[in-house]
Amino acid sequence: MNVTSTRWIAVPLAAAVGLALAHAAVAGKPDPQAPKAAVLTLGKAFACADYGGNKVCLVDATGKITWQMPAQQPQDVWVLPSGHILFTHLRGAKEVTRDKHVVWEYTTAAGNEIHACQPLPGGKVMIAESGPMRIIEVDREGTITKEVRLTTTCQRAHGQMRRARKLADGNYLVGQYSDAVVREYDPTGKIVREIPHKNAFGGIRLPDGNTLLSTGDAHRIVEIDQVGNAVWEIRENDLPRNPLRFIAGMHRLPNGNTVVCNWGGHGHVGKQPQIFEVTPQKKVVGVIYDYGQFGTISAVSIIGVEGDPTKFEILR
Residue 275 lies in a domain: yes
Residue 266's pLDDT is what? 84
| % of the chain surpassing 70 pLDDT | 87
Q: CATH number, domain at 268?
A: 2.120.10.30
Residue 4 lies in a domain: no
Longest CA span, the chain: 58
Give the Cα separation of 239 and 226 in Å (integer). Answer: 26
Residue 236 lies in a domain: yes
Residue 304's pLDDT is what? 95
Residue 64 lies in a domain: yes
In 283-298, which positions are buried (b, 16+ CB within 10 angstroms) versus exposed (e)?
Answer: ebebbbbbbebbbbbb
Q: Say if residue 24's pLDDT is above 50.
A: no
Overall residue count recorded for the chain in this entry: 316
**Residue among 310, 298, 204, 194 at smallest CA distance from 251:** 204
Residue 257 lies in a domain: yes
Residue 14's pLDDT is what? 45
Q: Say if residue 31's pLDDT is above 70.
A: no
DSSP 17: H
Query: What average pLDDT score do residues 176-188 get?
Result: 98
Secondary structure class of 175 (helix, strand, coil):
strand
Averaged confidence pLDDT in the chain: 89
Query: What average pLDDT score do residues 291-316 get?
Result: 96
| Total count of domains within the chain | 1
Residue 216 lies in a domain: yes
**pLDDT tens column, 43-100:** 999 999 999 999 999 999 999 999 999 999 999 999 999 999 999 999 999 999 999 9
Residue 6 lies in a domain: no
Give residue 265's pLDDT band: very low, low, confident or very high (50, 70, 90): confident
Residue 41's pLDDT is what? 84
Q: Which domain holds residue 135?
A: 13-311
Residues 6 or more apart in contact with residue 190 via CB below 8 angstroms? none
Residue 5 lies in a domain: no
Give the Cα separation of 86 and 166 in Å (integer). Answer: 16
Backbone angles phi, psi at 251, to 5 degrees: -140, 115
Give residue 33's pLDDT band: very low, low, confident or very high (50, 70, 90): very low
* Amino acid, single-letter form, for residue 205: R
